[in-house]
């Protein structure tokens, strides 16, 4: 009997557990460990902040969902992994101590490195947790006149929610006939030019931003947040009345110093999702060292690849399936300017860009389908 441990109850961990349970015989034991008893559908956090849904609409209970799939769930904090003894140290939870494994799938996501931006923790809102989204929602409803600054810090590798928040904010004030009260500025650490380079997607974004009179300020690498102002590393500052920033991301703490991460703490994996330099460990999702943005659909595909390869290893065969890195993103503008883009990140295929109201609807359907299928 093999004992497979999956760490993390997000997109990567849930899909890895489900996929593995379908592929291996029942005598093997699959265990999922997560610090949160709930799965959260992060792409809906912008809508949560704007009061368009409730926390219960975008989450489900992991223990119940896993029970249906004969996966054991442990609610605990992963402190450290110990590849040399094939054990994982858990703390603050249902199990305090070490759990052994024969195969490990690591899916703990990324760490929010708020400590890299002075004053971020004290003064900035973000949208990366349920609590963060609800707090930003409160700040929004209390905000007076002035400038709303929405943006990313350097290494905040998630462009979609920045645009979606700016669009939602514009619509929030437009619907109340108060749009002139607030100036909306998107800040980005990237060089001039809109995100995703030139071409169709930049044109589509530009049209959508102009439609809502949203300013775009590139080359603005924030390194300090003060009450009422953000400041860049080269001393430029702008004032804000409302602030939402994505902090820098880093790899997860549980693998720091183990020798298989890059300089930002992301885990080095090959295309079969095997962790480089150690045996029987796979990693998937935001925690791996692939280039580009960190996205849920990538975590899902990587989890499917890792699960298929663990199943092969258990059957005494060589890992075979490999992952192909691509971006598939809907930027929901809330109406006819919503954008879909698809691009292979490891090939030279041209980017596909579509724009229209259909994509707002498609994003809602995708969310409902996901939650119905996995809860």
Interaction of residue 304 with ligand FAD, rule CB under 6 A: no
Interaction of residue 13 with ligand FAD, rule CB under 6 A: yes
Interaction of residue 151 with ligand FAD, rule CB under 6 A: no
d(CA 266, CA 157): 13
Interaction of residue 18 with ligand FAD, rule CB under 6 A: no
Least separation in angstroms between CB 298 and ligand FAD:
7
Least separation in angstroms between CB 46 and ligand FAD:
6
Between 160-175 and 200-211, two packed helices, what is the crossing angle to 10 degrees?
Answer: 20
Interaction of residue 208 with ligand FAD, rule CB under 6 A: no
Interaction of residue 6 with ligand FAD, rule CB under 6 A: no
Least separation in angstroms between CB 255 and ligand FAD:
10
> Are residues 127 and 117 in contact, defined by beta-carbon separation less than 8 angstroms?
no
Site string for ligand FAD, 21-60 (x = CB under 6 A): ------------xxxx-----xx-xx--------------
* Assigned token pair, 151: 């943006």
- Residue 316 burial class via C-beta count within 10 angstroms: exposed 0-12, middle 13-18, buried 19 and up: exposed
> Are residues 76 and 92 in contact, defined by beta-carbon separation less than 8 angstroms?
yes
d(CA 332, CA 363): 8
Least separation in angstroms between CB 120 and ligand FAD:
16
* The binder of ligand FAD chosen from 11, 73, 249, 340 (CB under 6 A): 11
In this structure, the chain runs to a length of 375
Plot region of 91 (φ>0 → left; ψ -120 to 50 → alpha; else → beta): beta
Interaction of residue 265 with ligand FAD, rule CB under 6 A: no
> Are residues 244 and 127 in contact, defined by beta-carbon separation less than 8 angstroms?
yes
| Total residues binding ligand FAD (CB under 6 A) | 34
Interaction of residue 189 with ligand FAD, rule CB under 6 A: no
Interaction of residue 103 with ligand FAD, rule CB under 6 A: no
* The binder of ligand FAD chosen from 160, 247, 265, 319 (CB under 6 A): 160
Strands 229-232 and 222-226: what pairing? antiparallel
In the complex with ligand FAD, the residue whose CB is nearer, 37 or 146, is: 37
Q: Which of residues 59-98 bind ligand FAD (CB under 6 A)?
A: 77-78
* The binder of ligand FAD chosen from 251, 296, 319, 334 (CB under 6 A): 296
Q: What residues are paired with 105 via a beta bridge? A: 6, 282
DSSP state of 92: S
d(CA 196, CA 111): 24
Q: Tell me the chain's radius of gyration from C-alpha atoms.
A: 21
**Where along the sequence are the contacts to ligand FAD (CB under 6 A)?**
8-13, 33-36, 42-43, 45-46, 77-78, 107-109, 127-128, 158, 160-161, 252, 254, 285-286, 294-297, 299, 329
């Amino acid at each position: 009997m093999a004992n497979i441990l999956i760490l993390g109850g997000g997109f990567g961990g849930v899909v890895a557990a489900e996929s593995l349970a379908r592929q291996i015989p029942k005598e093997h034991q699959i265990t999922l460990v997560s610090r949160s008893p709930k799965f959260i559908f992060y792409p809906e956090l912008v809508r949560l902040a704007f009061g368009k849904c409730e926390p219960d609409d975008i989450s489900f209970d992991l223990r119940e969902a896993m029970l249906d799939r004969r996966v054991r769930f442990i609610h605990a904090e992963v402190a450290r992994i110990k590849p040399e003894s094939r054990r994982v140290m858990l703390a603050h939870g249902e199990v305090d101590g070490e759990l052994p494994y024969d195969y490990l799938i690591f899916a703990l996501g990324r760490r929010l490195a708020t400590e890299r931006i002075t004053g971020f923790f004290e003064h900035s809102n973000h949208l990366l947790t349920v609590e963060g989204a609800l707090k930003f929602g409160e700040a929004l409803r209390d905000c007076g006149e002035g400038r709303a600054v929405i943006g990313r810090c350097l290494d905040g590798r998630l462009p979609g929610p920045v645009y979606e928040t700016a669009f939602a904010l514009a619509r929030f004030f437009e619907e109340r006939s108060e749009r002139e009260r607030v100036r909306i500025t998107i800040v980005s650490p990237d060089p001039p030019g809109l995100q995703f380079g030139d071409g169709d997607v930049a044109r589509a974004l530009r049209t959508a931003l102009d439609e809502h009179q949203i300013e775009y300020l590139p080359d603005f690498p924030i390194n300090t947040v003060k009450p009422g102002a953000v400041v860049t590393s080269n001393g430029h500052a702008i004032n804000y009345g409302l602030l939402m920033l994505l902090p820098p991301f880093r790899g997860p703490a549980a693998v720091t110093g183990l020798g298989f991460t890059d300089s930002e703490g992301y885990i080095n994996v090959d295309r079969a999702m095997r962790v480089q330099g150690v045996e029987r460990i796979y990693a998937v999702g935001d925690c791996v060292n692939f280039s580009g943005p960190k996205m849920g659909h990538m975590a899902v595909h990587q989890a499917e690849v890792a699960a298929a390869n663990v199943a092969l290893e258990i059957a005494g065969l060589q890992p075979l399936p490999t992952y192909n890195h691509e971006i598939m993103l809907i930027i929901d503008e809330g109406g006819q300017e919503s954008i879909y883009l698809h691009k292979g990140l490891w090939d030279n295929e041209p980017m596909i860009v579509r724009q229209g109201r259909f994509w707002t609807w498609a994003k809602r359907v995708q969310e409902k389908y996901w939650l119905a299928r996995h809860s």
